[in-house]
Amino acid sequence: MSIVYSVRPCRPEARPAPEEQLAWARADLAASNRPLDADAAALAGCRLIDNMAIAVASLDRSPVAAAPHLDLESFGPRARLDGALADVRSTDRAMRGVTAPSPIYEGDYGILAVLLGGQEAEVTLPGQGEPCRAILDTLTKAHSAGYHGQAIIDLALRLHGQLGDLYQVETITIHTKRMTHVVMGSGSGDPDKWDPRASRETLDYSAPFQFARALVDGDWHHDRSYDPALISDPAFVRLWGKVRTVEDEEWNRRFAAVRPIDKDHGGRAVIRFADGREQAEELAVANSHPRGASPWEFEDYHRKFKTLTEPFLSQEKGERFVVAARDLAKLSTAEVRILGVEADLRPPAEGAKGLLDRSPA
């Protein structure tokens, strides 16, 4: 039976005993000998393949080349690399005896205090003898865009070719949950979400852009969909400017489901034409979602890996990693420690302004 831990921030003088701290419970969980869940192990291998694909592809992307405003979001592509660097530095400091805030969750400088504003939280961990299955409640991304845009893109792809002359479209209103509306839509108050000069990382979090681009192209590609020449086309900019999001209480309710897998992430698009006609279509979850039209399996992750890493990995290196990751549960400790890839980066460009500027392929 699962165990629910109530986690509360505290001052140093009220520090809970070690065995009452969440970090202690997590460490005990990691060290315990538990049965292996086959589905969870298989998905862990797929996610390892997915994360490696994105990490390798991001190695060759300049964080500022496509960002005329040099906004903070332009550093998004290197998030995984920054995380890896932080891991190395943290390990080095730990080896030197430097410790983190303690308790790490409950302390006055811990996660609850700093990241959650002092809010209390509940964390559910597997009970004694139960396998770890939480990864089965997590979701993947089929498209190179923010997660809350995944279903929006698939909805637009479904409508591609069904609306006739897009020049006759007067408005497109996407009814969706608050998260999508505020983070990726009209509720953000961010005009850059409709600006063809915006960085790729801004458009990555623009539901109006994603819907319009997928609707026009009938496809979504990690590079072509962000092609500046296509984005700046006047006909596309005109259509893009007609897309708005609105917060819808029904979609808020559908997103509020307790189990992560039961949450509806999508929305309902209402297209109004110049002659007064309306057409509506909705999609609850992305196609790749476990409840979607085509839930992702190993071959989907494999295809994404090959697509993203082809410029940087030989087929032999890539396949060696994929095979090992697929059999993650069968690997020895020594094999897990050396699991990885060696990317083949292009040499720095002549006159490069930064370490990450590379010569053309």
Distance CA 138, CA 163 (A): 34
Give residue-wise pLDDT tens across range 159-182.
999 999 999 999 999 999 999 999
Distances (CA, A) of 255 to 2, 156, 244, 251, 283: 23, 20, 20, 6, 13
Helix (H, G, I), strand (E, B) or coil at 170: strand
Provide the token pair at 241. Answer: 């400017």
Question: What pLDDT, on the 0 to 100 scale, is given for residue 4?
Answer: 83
Q: Mean pLDDT across the chain, nearest whole number?
A: 87
User: Residue 221 pLDDT > 80, yes or no?
Assistant: yes
Strands 243-247 and 169-176, bridge-based pairing: parallel
Q: pLDDT digit string (tens) for 253-263? A: 999 998 889 99
d(C-alpha 143, C-alpha 296), whole Å: 12
Strands 278-283, 169-176: parallel, antiparallel or unpaired by DSSP? Answer: unpaired
pLDDT surpassing 50 at residue 63 = no
Backbone φ, ψ for residue 245 (5° rounding): -115, 150
- Whole-prediction pTM: 0.84
pLDDT tens-digit map of 193-210: 999 999 888 999 999 999
Question: Are 127 and 2 contacting, i.e. CB atoms less than 8 angstroms apart?
Answer: yes
Q: Is the pLDDT of residue 60 over 80?
A: no
Determine contact, residues 265/255, Cβ cutoff 8 Å.
Answer: yes
One-letter amino acid identity for 227? Answer: D
Pick the CATH number of 147-283 from 3.90.1170.30, 3.40.50.10600, 3.90.1150.10, 3.30.1330.120: 3.30.1330.120
For the chain, the domains span: 1-140+308-361, 147-283
pLDDT at 215: 98
Separation of alpha carbons 185 and 72, rounded Å: 18
Q: What is the pLDDT of residue 67?
A: 42
State how far the Cα of 167 lies from the Cα of 235, in Å rounded to an integer.
8
The residue-averaged pLDDT of 303-319 equals 91
Tokens describing residue 42? 């298989």
Look at 83-92, 94-103, 242-251 and tell me which has the smallest mean pLDDT. Answer: 83-92
Rounded CA Rg of the chain: 23
Residues 6+ apart with CB under 8 A from 118: 9, 112
Over residues 311-336, the mean pLDDT reads: 91
User: pLDDT by residue (tens digit) across 100-141?
Assistant: 778 888 888 888 888 888 888 888 889 888 999 999 999 999
Phi, then psi, of 121 in degrees rounded to 5: -145, 160
